[in-house]
Structure 1
Amino acid sequence: MTDDEEAEKGGRPCPRCDQPLFRRHCKYVCPQHGVVYDCSDPFWQS
């Protein structure tokens, strides 16, 4: 894992596996499940 990837690791856990999510371009990505949250979704609140 690069320093940039580690810096973008979020505190939010994945709702499926509780792994820390990574923030990528307005999306929260689980290393196992892919995109979990997308901030363009009007029903998701940060």
Structure 2
Amino acid sequence: MTDDGIEDVGGRPCPQCERPLFKRHCKYVCPEHGVVYDCADTFW
């Protein structure tokens, strides 16, 4: 985890570009596309 609260997940890929997502608080963030998933999303 970095100082700004971003955790390198490295598992789940971005559905648009396949880059590894980072977990920030309750969101999964793509470095290219921004927030991709929110922990409240129940469809994934």
Q: TM-score band, normalised by the shorter chain?
A: 0.7 to 0.9
Q: What's the TM-score, normalizing by structure 2? A: 0.75
Q: Counting helix residues as a fraction of each chain, which structure ranks higher?
A: 1
Paired positions, count: 41
Q: Which runs of 5+ in 2 are unaligned?
A: none
- The TM-score normalised by the length of structure 1 is 0.72
Query: Which runs of 5 or more structure 1 residues have no equivalent in the other structure?
Result: none
Higher relative CO (CA 8 A, sep ≥ 6), structure 1 or 2?
2
User: Over alpha carbons, which structure has the higher Rg?
Assistant: 1
Q: How high is the sequence identity, in percent, across the aligned residues?
A: 68
- C-alpha RMSD over aligned residues: 1.9
